[in-house]
Amino acid sequence: MPMTESEITPTPSASGSGPLLQIKGMLKSFGAVQVLLGTNFEAEAGEVTALLGDNGAGKSTLIKCVAGTHVPDGGQVILDGQVQHFHTPQDATKAGIETVYQDLALCDNLDVVANLFLGRERAHTLIPGILRAINEEPMEQKAREALTLLRINIPSVRSLVKELSGGQRQSIAVAKAVLWSPKVVILDEPTAALGVAQTRQVLDLVLRLRDQGLAVIIITHNMQNVFEVADKASVMRLGRRVAKFVIKDASPDDVVAAITGARTFETADVA
């Protein structure tokens, strides 16, 4: 059964008491179209939170406001008890929020190491003030350590990304985000278009991220995945959160009813 709104309105906190990430009263319009109507959302450290809703519910816009891609018209993003003001994706990344979108943003013609460090390459000085060169050895070592920690199996860190399977590519995109010690990792449809074995590989990785104490947010339409890896779920419809569930206490029918509007739950956000 869903929790009531009074039960899910948290108190801002730091260092582990209360939600690590909170979104309060988020507003966003594009011209005359209001996409977010005072949306609330929370994600706890060491938990997987599913963000659910039909197409057009406002999920992607909400996440892009958190990730710094969109600047909201109102509301707050609170990370570890501190109000944040993100104007670019780099702002969100520096604060500790990493997002892996469906397109993965990987370069097929580069190897795994180059992709993991793309835009963040380590370099050493050859001629002071004139010439710097990429320092491959520490990059390769850190890449190996990250993949070992996440138990990601690939032929070699020097394999070209285009040579990897769909599940391996998704895993590399996640590793690229985790490499920089984020607090929150957002995964947009991480198992879309993957086969059974590849989906299992990615879901196991999601659980490992949770077990490392990260707040993991997963956007998906796959209800089976939700009930396999998520601890909680927030459901959006028409720009608002309409329900929130603790997965172990919920049924797929209740969650689907919230998504479709077949049932009304007493968890609506107040704009």
Listed by start position, the domains of the chain span 5-260
What pLDDT does residue 122 have?
77
Tokens of 98: 């990493």
Cα–Cα distance, 43 to 81 (Å, whole number): 12
Report the percentage of the chain scoring pLDDT > 70. Answer: 89
Between 67 and 268, name the one with better pLDDT: 67
Question: pLDDT tens digits, residue range 222-263?
Answer: 999 999 999 999 999 999 999 999 999 999 999 999 999 987
Tokens of 16: 């582990």
Task: Name the CATH code of domain 5-260 (choices 3.40.50.10470, 3.40.50.10420, 3.40.50.300, 3.40.980.10).
Answer: 3.40.50.300
Cα–Cα distance, 214 to 154 (Å, whole number): 23
Cα–Cα distance, 43 to 234 (Å, whole number): 10
CA angle 82, 84, 87 (to 5 degrees): 170
Tokens of 244: 């929130």
Contact yes or no for 228/253 (Cβ under 8 A): no
**In which band, very low, low, confident or very high, does the pLDDT at 125 lie, cut at 50, 70 and 90?**
low
Record the pTM: 0.86
Contact yes or no for 172/116 (Cβ under 8 A): yes
Burial of 199 (0-12, 13-18, 19+ CB in 10 A): buried
Residue 8, CA distances (Å) to 3, 5, 28 in order: 7, 5, 22
Question: pLDDT tens digits, residue range 181-224?
Answer: 899 999 999 998 888 988 999 999 999 999 999 999 999 999 99
